[in-house]
Amino acid sequence: MKRLVLVGAGHAHARVLRDFARDAPHGIALTLVSPAPLAPYSGMVPGWMAGHYRWDECCIDFARLCRLAGATLRIGMAARIDAAGSVLHLESGEQLDYDVLSLDIGSTAYPPEGAGPQLLPMRPLSRLNERWETLREHVRALPPGAACSVLVVGGGAAGVESVLAAKHQLAEWAPHVAFGYALATQGKAALPALARSAARKIGAHFERHGIRVIHDFEAARLDHAGVASRDGRTLAADVVLWATGAKAHGWPAAAGIAQDSAGFIKVDSDLRSVSHPNIFAAGDCASFAVAVPKAGVFAVRMGPVLAHNLRALLGGRPLEKFVAQKRHLVLLGTGGEHAVAAWGPLSWQGRWVWRWKRRIDQRFLARHNGAVQIN
């Protein structure tokens, strides 16, 4: 038996398991290592934060996928890779031998250390549920009439959707509290990669909800007063949502796998490590010669290529190339049942965009959580 080990319950690995469930090849022992049996679908996380979904309604059920695929599910965390010996070591001490290893571990966040405000890192997504529950208990325990300043650090899509979702949900959780909201971004504007027309629409929502935007703010540390920047400014905050850009997990580095300057795993167009031909990487943890945005839509598109190539390598067949689309649809929730869409220079908004986004997201989940016959 050939041993195929998947590390991480990411979108691309969901497709691999789905394909095995429909047509499991003979002679391959498949194992998935995941910290939990449920893994959130990133496209629905802001809607969950805003209170539109339960946690289980926006998660892929990897335990079920593994059963259907005839795969073994190991609940745990990977600790290190012995690339020379083809052995994966888990934090529990368990060791898994592999012939082919695939990493779809996403990205993480490294907020600065320091005492002070309630801190909620938005990555990794697998831990967001418990952190959001802790925040709910925190704000509900505040006395009537208390003031609470909420600061979101990060001006990308994650930060923008997080501050709007928090504004919507916290008002329901703690109507007795006077909340204030701000978003801090390193650059001159929030959503710098988005079409200007879409960014203007989001800006109008910020103005309508009284959300301040602070530009050129590079957060450096937390203290009793809030969040301090490298240039000496301090933003007062009682709650900090840390939504800065994707950071690489540190543990794969010790294996000697080729990485880019940010620590992400360098892969070729086959999604295969440029230094270790029996290791693949997909999603946010992968780094390409021509940069691919760290967005869920690209991880989803990598899924069919990864599924094919894992089988092909083990079966001695040719591999396929992953080609990133040059333009992709961006759908951003604005807190309530309303969303903004962007496609290249074009943009739209409204409740109908939210319904459109909801249908897309629920269809994606249905393909993985429904019966095998769902295509």
Q: Which of 3, 68, 22, 56 is nearest to 304 (CA)?
A: 22
Q: Which long-range contacts (CB under 8 A, 24 or more apart) does 220-224 make?
A: 220/112, 221/112, 221/113, 221/114, 222/111, 222/112, 222/113, 222/114, 222/115, 222/116, 222/117, 222/119, 223/114, 223/115, 223/116, 224/115, 224/116
Stronger pLDDT, 61 or 123, i.e. the higher one = 61
Mean pLDDT for the chain overall: 93
State what percent of residues in the chain have pLDDT above 70: 98
Task: Give the pLDDT confidence of 320-347 residue by residue, as tens digits.
Answer: 999 999 889 999 999 999 999 999 999 9
Token pair of 204 as six digits: 């109008």
Q: What is the pLDDT of residue 326?
A: 87
Token pair of 256 as six digits: 């000697």
Q: What is the pLDDT of residue 125?
A: 85
The amino acid at residue 186 is Q
User: Which residue segments constitute the domains of the chain, with CATH numbers given?
Assistant: 2-108+247-326 (3.50.50.60), 118-242 (3.50.50.60)
pLDDT over 90 (residue 315) = yes
Q: Which residues contact 97 (CB under 8 A, 6 or more apart)?
A: 3, 86, 87, 88
- The helix or strand, by DSSP H or E, that contains position 311, with its residue range, turns out to be helix 296-315
C-alpha 358/C-alpha 43 separation (Å) is 9
pLDDT over 50 (residue 374) = no
Q: Which of 105, 106, 84, 102 is nearest to 310 (CA)?
A: 102
Task: Give the pLDDT confidence of 282-309 residue by residue, as tens digits.
Answer: 999 999 999 998 988 999 999 999 999 9
C-alpha 320/C-alpha 194 separation (Å) is 30
Task: Give the pLDDT confidence of 210-261 residue by residue, as tens digits.
Answer: 999 999 999 988 888 899 999 999 999 999 999 998 899 999 988 999 999 9
